[in-house]
Amino acid sequence: MSRKKKLMETEPLLYIVQPKLRPPTASMQQSFVRRGRESVLVEKEEEQQPFEPEWKPSFSQMTVPEQLAFLASLPSHLPPVKCLLETKSTQPLEGIVTECEEGRVKIATNEGERQLNADDVRQVILIGWTRKGEP
């Protein structure tokens, strides 16, 4: 006799006794009351002009002072952005723009913090994101 046939012929070793219960009856709502509509005078709202979201230029379309102000005021949940500042008088500076106030720009570089006149900056080139605390 094959093993499959032998297993099929034997009775189960353990019976699980299940009580014979009737399906539960759900008491549902049989009727409902509907109130009549209240007649409320609704004032006609002024015609609204279609909402146009404020257009924000991309970083490359901003002017240099706008770029510096943008980099100085990044939200705290974003990591600082390392950038290359090309100036009129000195060689390009690589670092993170930390402040931009009253025509002065503070830049955190590897050598330390430097200050520049905002008018001296010709171009701002983004290099990439940095980790917090890394200049």
Q: In angstroms, rounded to a whole number, what is the distance separating the alpha carbons of residues 61 and 29?
A: 64
* Domains defined along the chain, listed by start: 61-129 (2.30.30.520)
In sequence order, what are the beta bridge partners of 97?
A: 107
With H, G, I as helix, E, B as strand and everything else as coil, classify residue 116. Answer: strand
User: Tokens representing 133?
Assistant: 């605390």
**Which pLDDT tens digit goes with each residue over 9-53?**
666 677 777 788 888 888 888 787 887 776 665 566 666 677 777
User: Tokens representing 20?
Assistant: 């014979």
pTM: 0.55
Closest CA to 96 of 85, 13, 87, 88: 85
With H, G, I as helix, E, B as strand and everything else as coil, classify residue 58. Answer: coil
